[in-house]
Amino acid sequence: MRSLTDQHGRVVRDLRVSVTPRCNFKCTYCDPLGMGHQEPVGTVSVADVDHVVRAGAGLGLESVRFTGGEPLLRQELPEMIYNAKRTPGIHDVAITTNASLLKRRLPELLAAGMDRVNISLDAIDPEAFRLATGGSIKQVWEGIMAVMEAGLHPVKLNAVVIRGINDGELIRLAKLTEQLPIHMRYIEYMHLNNAGAEEYQRSFMPGREIRARVEAALGELTPVPTDPSAPARLFKVPGWQGAIGFINPVSEPFCGACSRMRLTSDARLRPCLLTDRELDVREALIAPDPIPAIQEQFLIAAHRKVASGITTPLERPRTMVAIGG
């Protein structure tokens, strides 16, 4: 099996696949498309996703994470999970979700072979949660409990921290790890929406400040050994069951250890979350033999081959919902 190594020597092992730009929440940092019943024209099909996953696996990709928008709005998600799980070389299949529909859809996801779940949880207090997401915490918490009861491990909870929105929830979120074997991870707010520069600077809270607040309330955190390519640095409160993580892409970029590539819901390969460089793979998807055609696009996206088709910058920079997280 070949290895997909980019021009910096980084081995690409993980593929994030956005299966829809739609979402039923309105998170401050995301700029959601909304929740219409129909997918926008050009959204990747089940066959498209299967072709891209199999092409990536042939180049050494090992894990697939399905994202959105909100991926559980995509009815065909279990079929995509099923196909990915049965692709030779793919060892880990997961989703990132807001969990509002997770309790209801969990049985079909587990039957399809899903391994793990990442859940967005920006607050616990119902009013703070509504302010951050526009949604209700009740269904989300039911989804979290359902995943815990199903025995999936580790369950990773992610909070994007925005000053004045949910920074008052930092300690309450951290305390979830006292009795639950979860990873509670704080993510720095990235400027990937339509916020003005001044508004973004007022809202941004660096990871070091987040950690200082947590340690001021709970005591010094103990480091937990972590995969160097993982975005989170993990710590524990001694004696507590779970772990607390910090993902600091703005103040402490981890580009050197990145192992990820993304497929957007409109069929573009995006080698880096924080740039607008993308490669349209639509022609490869409709090629007579799509797998090698898509593999060529992976190699181009990783700068291992030179070809036309890279767009930079986009006419309108993408917001998080259009990238897939």
Structural domain contains residue 5: no
Q: Can you tell me the distance from the alpha carbon of 47 to that of 40, in angstroms, rounded to the nearest whole number?
A: 17
Give the pLDDT confidence score for residue 8 in this predicted structure. Answer: 63
pLDDT at 246: 97
Q: Is 1 a member of any domain?
A: no
Residue 79: inside a domain:
yes
Output the domain CATH number for residue 229.
Answer: 3.20.20.70
Q: Within 13 Å and on the Cβ side, how many CA atoms surround 79?
A: 10
Say what the pTM is: 0.89
Q: Is residue 8 part of a domain?
A: no
Domain assignment present for 249? yes
Number of domains in the chain: 1
Q: Which one, of 38, 32, 41, 36, lies nearest residue 67 by Cα? A: 32
What tokens were used for 43? Answer: 């959204």
* Alpha-carbon gap, residue 98 to 4, rounded angstroms: 31
Q: Which string of DSSP letters, residue by residue, matches 58-71?
A: TTT--EEEEESS-G
In a domain, 2, yes or no: no
Instruction: Give the per-residue pLDDT at 313.
Output: 46
Structural domain contains residue 35: yes
Q: Which domain holds residue 313?
A: 14-323
- pLDDT by 10-residue block (mean), the chain, 325 residues: 68 92 87 70 95 96 96 97 98 97 98 97 95 93 96 94 95 97 94 72 94 98 86 94 93 66 94 75 97 94 60 49 53
Token digits for 52? 């891209």
CA distance 262 to 269: 6
Report the alpha-carbon distance of residue 104 to residue 107 in Å, rounded.
7
DSSP at 72? G
Residue 325's pLDDT is 54
Reply yes or no: is the peptide bond before residue 71 cis, omega within 30 of 0: no
DSSP 178: G
Q: Alpha helices, DSSP H only, in the chain?
A: 46-57, 77-85, 102-112, 126-133, 137-150, 170-174, 197-203, 207-218, 282-285, 290-301, 320-323
94 neighbors 114 (Cβ within 8 angstroms):
yes
CB neighbour list of residue 306: distance below 8 Å, 6 or more residues apart: 300
In a domain, 151, yes or no: yes
